[in-house]
Each structure stands twice: as structure tokens, then as C-alpha cells.
Amino acid sequence: TVTIDKIAAGEVIERPASVVKELAENAIDAGATAIVVEIQDGGISLIRIADNGCGIAREEVPNAFLRHSTSKIRSVEDLVHIGSLGFRGEALSSIAAVSQVELITKTGEQTFGTRYRIDGGRKVDIEDTGARDGTTFLIRQLFYNVPARRKFLKTPMTEASHVGDLMTRLALSHPEISFQFINNGQSKLHTSGNGSLKDVIYHVYGREIASNLLRSEFSSQGIRITGFLGKPLISRGNRNFENYFINGRYVKNQIVSKAIEDAYKDFSMQHKYPFVVLHMEIDGEGVDVNVHPAKMEIRFHNQQEVYNRVYEAVNKGLHAEEL
Ligand code: ADP
Ligand code: MG
């Protein structure tokens, strides 16, 4: 029911950035190679997200907004991985419960697209429309029917910066997808999608950082780490430049941060916080990502093991420079 969806929305949807995160992950799952996100007033009055993915067949459109409806679990094998993939089929129902949604979508097989509107979880109308292949969501007036939540939103500027940070992370985690972010009509980020992580880093952080990188390639005992380490020339004032993705998910974790910082410190005494962009693949049994799929927390079954491997990877990467 709408009430339960509204409660569920409290779990998943905290602010405009959480809406963008869920919809962008859906676009990625749909095989999109280009994703455009546009917001007005920090995303509070409008979020528009357009992808060129597989689209949703007309007969599936209303179902997609039902709680626990997901097209992504097909086998027992998938069920085993359900946590790590974050497939839980409640993003659309949650978003629709607390906003006014307009969806335009078309699959490759269909001649016409579908336009669907749903307000506060209640269907308004569904009709044919001309559309390109792919999916566009318009989310208007977030939390218009949950004043208590709306009150907790920060200023449009702050909400926009949360969306901007998210877009940066999405671009860094998927160099093979072109991401564009437009805030109040101004383009803030536009990556090429050519697959080069270094190009994304250049685009986001500029020449200075991009031309002082060491490549990191490491694989041992169920952990694979690839990406870039900032040369230990410049120490940063905080952890904001430590970007790491574990099994595709952007996370913050004490153990991982500590391992990275310790490796830098041992390499160069005064070094505090480095710049890194690392992708880590850890075998399913090594991580417990069920902590909260919408948040950035991650738990490890064997913390010491993870610490050692990450330390080793960064240490090796830093010393490789001298070869
Ligand atoms: P989940 O992603 O966990 O399956 P969601 O509520 O996020 O649940 O989405 C429900 C369903 O709607 C998805 O399983 C998918 O079939 C469909 N869907 C949502 N967004 C898109 C999109 N951008 N492109 C294609 N299909 C989509
Ligand atoms: Mg989803």
C-alpha cells in the first residue's frame, strides 16, 4: 500500500541524492552507456534522469512501481548474490510514494514509447508517446506529501552538492559510461564514457592531480585492486580525496582508509591523507554488504586480512615508482 511504501521510502530515500543514486543504478543495470542527470533547486523541485538503456516494456511499467517487484532476480544463483547487488525492488515504489513521478520509456522492440504518471504512489495515467529507446524519469516535488521529511532537507545548494558528489563517484566507478550532470541549467560534469579511469580523474580533479598518478594493480588471496594512487608529493587535509569502490560500490570504511593511510605514512613520514581512486573486488564471502544497501557502510568478515591486502597493494604501488 501507499502507506507502507511511504514508510519504506524513509529507509531508502533520504534526499534528492538518494533518488538520483537509485535511478542511476537502475540505468546502469539497464545497460545504459550515457546517463544525463538534471536538477532544479537542489533536486527538490525537479530531478530529471535520462538513460539510453533497455527501456521498460509497456505492460511492465505499472508493475515496476510495485514494492518488491524486480526484474533482476532470475535464478537461485542471483538470490545468493542478492545482497551484494542490492537488488531489492523497492526504489521505484518508494520514490513514487513521496513525489510526483513522470516516466517516459521505450524498448527497442516497441514502435511507441510509454508515458506513465504516478503521484504519491497513485497512478494518474498511462499513454503512448513518441520516445527514443531508453528511459527518462522526472521526479517532481520530492516529499511534497511528507512535510516532516521535506523540512529536514538542507538548502538547495547543499542538496545540489550532494548530487554533485554522487555524480563524481558514479563517473569514477563507471568510466565506460558517459555521465552528464546539469544543475539549474549549468553543465557541471560531462564525462566521455571512453572507459579510461584516468580521463575521468582528469575531468573531475584537473591536470595537477591527473599528471601525478601511479597505477595500482594487485591481486592476492581473493582480493583484486586496480586504480590510481596520487604520488606521495602532496598530502591532503582530509579524507575527501580517498575514493574507493568495493565490488562496484562507493563506501567509507575505517579499516580500508587506515590501511591506505598507513601505507602512505610508512612510505613518507609526514604523509596524512592521500588522493586515491581504487577499485577493489573482494570475493563475496569476504564482505558483508547487507549492512545497509542504500548507505556507504560495509563490513568485512576478516578485517585483518582486508587491512593486510590493501596495505600491501598500496605499498607495492608506491614503491613501483622507483623502478
Ligand atoms: P530493482 O532495481 O531492485 O529491481 P527498482 O524499484 O529500482 O528495483 O526498479 C524496479 C524495476 O523497474 C527494475 O527491476 C527494472 O525492471 C525496472 N527499471 C527501473 N528503472 C529502469 C531503467 N532506467 N531502465 C530499465 N528498466 C528499469
Ligand atoms: Mg533499483
Give the Å distance between the CA of 49 and the centre of ligand 2.
Answer: 14
Residue 125 structural domain: 2-190
pLDDT tens profile 18-41: 999 999 999 999 999 999 999 999
**Under 8 Å between Cβ of 158 and 152:** no
Provide the pLDDT for residue 6. Answer: 78
**Under 8 Å between Cβ of 278 and 247:** no
**CA-CA-CA-CA dihedral for 64, 117, 137, 109, to nearest 10:** 60
What mean pLDDT is predicted for residues 166-184?
97
Provide the pLDDT for residue 291. Answer: 64
| 184 and 224 co-located in one domain | no
Tell me which residue has its CA closest to atom 12 in ligand 1: 64
Give the Å distance between the CA of 37 and the centre of ligand 2.
Answer: 16
∠ CA 70-75-76, nearest 5°, is: 115
Q: Which ipTM score applies to this complex?
A: 0.99
| Reported confidence tier of residue 290, pLDDT bands at 50, 70, 90 | low
Give the Å distance between the CA of 270 and the centre of ligand 1.
Answer: 47
Q: How far apart are CA 310 and CA 245, in angstroms?
A: 12
CATH number for the domain spanning 257: value is 3.30.230.10
Ligand with an atom nearest the CA of residue 67: 1
| 117 and 50 co-located in one domain | yes
| 72 and 182 co-located in one domain | yes
**The last residue of a domain, from among 190, 221, 240:** 190
What mean pLDDT is predicted for residues 108-130?
97
Provide the pLDDT for residue 84. Answer: 39
- Calculate what percentage of the chain has a pLDDT beyond 70: 92
Domain count, the chain: 2
Instruction: Find all residues with CB under 8 Å of 138, minimum gap 6, and list them.
Output: 46, 47, 48, 101, 102, 103, 104
**The last residue of a domain, from among 160, 190, 220:** 190
| Reported confidence tier of residue 68, pLDDT bands at 50, 70, 90 | confident
∠ CA 239-243-244, nearest 5°, is: 125
Give the Å distance between the CA of 23 and the centre of ligand 2.
Answer: 7
Read out DSSP for 258-320?
A: HHHHHHHHHHSTT--B--EEEEEEE-GGGEETTS-TTSS--EES-HHHHHHHHHHHHHHHHHH
251 belongs to a structural domain: yes
| 162 and 305 co-located in one domain | no
| Reported confidence tier of residue 96, pLDDT bands at 50, 70, 90 | very high
249 belongs to a structural domain: yes
Mutate which of 5, 21, 26 to test ligand 1's pocket (most atoms within 8 Å of Cβ)?
Answer: 26
Mutate which of 71, 101, 136 to test ligand 1's pocket (most atoms within 8 Å of Cβ)?
Answer: 71
199 belongs to a structural domain: no
| 15 and 130 co-located in one domain | yes
Question: Residue 81: pLDDT above 60?
Answer: no
Q: Which three-class secondary structure state does DSSP give residue 95? A: helix
Whether pTM > 0.80 for this model: the answer is yes
What mean pLDDT is predicted for residues 58-83?
71
Handedness of CA 132, 137, 140, 144 (dihedral sign): positive
202 belongs to a structural domain: no
Residue 158 has a CB neighbour count (10 Å cut-off) of 11
Provide the pLDDT for residue 245. Answer: 95
Q: How far apart are CA 34 and CA 164, in angstroms?
A: 17
Question: Residue 83: pLDDT above 70?
Answer: no
Provide the pLDDT for residue 322. Answer: 61
Provide the pLDDT for residue 228. Answer: 97
| Reported confidence tier of residue 234, pLDDT bands at 50, 70, 90 | confident
198 belongs to a structural domain: no
Mean pLDDT of the chain: 90
Pocket-forming residues, ligand 1, beta carbon under 6 Å? 22, 26-27, 30, 51, 53-56, 64, 69-72, 87-92, 135
Provide the pLDDT for residue 198. Answer: 97
Provide the pLDDT for residue 67. Answer: 84
| 39 and 179 co-located in one domain | yes
Give the Å distance between the CA of 231 and the centre of ligand 2.
Answer: 37
Overall residue count recorded for the chain in this entry: 323
Ligand with an atom nearest the CA of residue 72: 1
Residue 301 has a CB neighbour count (10 Å cut-off) of 11
| 87 and 141 co-located in one domain | yes
**Under 8 Å between Cβ of 66 and 121:** no
Question: Residue 321: pLDDT above 70?
Answer: no
207 belongs to a structural domain: no
Tell me which residue has its CA closest to atom 8 in ligand 1: 89
| 159 and 47 co-located in one domain | yes
| 34 and 166 co-located in one domain | yes
CATH number for the domain spanning 153: value is 3.30.565.10
Tell me which residue has its CA closest to atom 21 in ligand 1: 26
Q: How far apart are CA 166 and CA 300, in angstroms?
A: 24
Question: Residue 268: pLDDT above 90?
Answer: no
Provide the pLDDT for residue 206. Answer: 95
Provide the pLDDT for residue 258. Answer: 96
- Calculate what percentage of the chain has a pLDDT beyond 90: 75
Ligand with an atom nearest the CA of residue 71: 1
Question: Residue 73: pLDDT above 70?
Answer: no
Residue 150 has a CB neighbour count (10 Å cut-off) of 14
Q: How far is CA 125 from CA 122, 130, 142, 307, in A?
A: 9, 16, 19, 53
**The last residue of a domain, from among 190, 224, 250:** 190
**Under 8 Å between Cβ of 14 and 21:** no
| 20 and 89 co-located in one domain | yes
Compare 167 and 269 and report the one with higher pLDDT. Answer: 167
| 11 and 60 co-located in one domain | yes
Amino acid letter, residue 252:
K
| 175 and 220 co-located in one domain | no
196 belongs to a structural domain: no
Provide the pLDDT for residue 80. Answer: 46
Tell me which residue has its CA closest to atom 20 in ligand 1: 26
Give the Å distance between the CA of 298 and the centre of ligand 2.
Answer: 19
What mean pLDDT is predicted for residues 141-152?
95
181: part of which helix (H) or strand (E)? Answer: strand 178-183
200 belongs to a structural domain: no
